[in-house]
Structure 1
């Protein structure tokens, strides 16, 4: 199976280390993975702002780059959700339908497709709080939702439990939104900032040294809130831990 690695534009611009860790991790696991040059954006920002037609060019370019792969993996739940549910600024050809049906978020791909049961190179001897973004939780079903009262499960936790030395702490309100919410953090910046501060204080009160998440956008928001408030937390993407980061 050939796999194309799609790195979201904000990760490429601000957190290239997450893209590198994603690539290295897939290679460690024996995946035939390629990073196509010339990547830009999947079109999600335009769709989020109600100008779906403006995403036509970026969506068409994305299809040209990735439709030839058996699967596409992205370390971003919101981008994958856009591909699956809102990628319709262009005609829905067989190539587009194939792409939409075979694009996976990184945790999904590791947990559901590869069914990885061991990361022998990974060790992370720290107390960690796990953050599930609203999008991965409710759109991609990374984990159970407390408001549904369903049997608990967590795909990222299943993977992280295979890492040596890691210790998890539980915040009082684990499913609460951190306030990023795409353009919500711009349109409602005061509310967003307070929600982010509440979230990082909740993790700190539980004893976390690090907050780990599959969504860099949430980590970026929380990192800014923690820095401004002087909350002593560090932040790391799940791909970095699974790839063997120690700190």
Structure 2
């Protein structure tokens, strides 16, 4: 594929990303696009880290997920390091999985059993977010050249911007939904107990703080059941608690 074709396909992918309804669909499109756009790529996945725990958000093949689990168990590997942004690098690679590897020796020797010949991990990030890693796999050694890695980096950069925007959109929708349910709960308390608006909100806020329950969860309970949750230690669940 020449660069003109690549650019056209990238433009198509960018439009398709913006048309997706949820983040999970975006991840699936990104990984599928990687196998189509990056020369030598047989499979792809997106991995994120939560402390030292690995979560596979999308994978085109089961052995991609198996590789993620392996890196989590061994606490080493190119995708593992890419997702943690260790050493400040943005691209991590294993050119030949069949040869001894100094940086990830345990992973390289075990990954051969999964059928991995070579791989590249590319950081998914924006200026404000580290979103994980886009990981590309090949069945045979030496499949990813400089052009392939450059293609992967361009793909990851487009994907990171789209994912970051989608996450902001989801957070905004969640905030709007929370605001709506809090307003509904306040209305129930105002009608049922003759409270003013600020008094109803303070009832929800105090209950949230005193019982270590998120405000939106307290509000959801009131909206659904018409009363404050019953504290674990007992109590009436009335606005005076």
TM-score by length of 2: 0.25
Give the TM-score normalised by structure 1.
0.24
Q: Which has the larger radius of gyration?
A: 2
Q: Which has the higher contact order (CA 8 A, sep 6+)?
A: 1
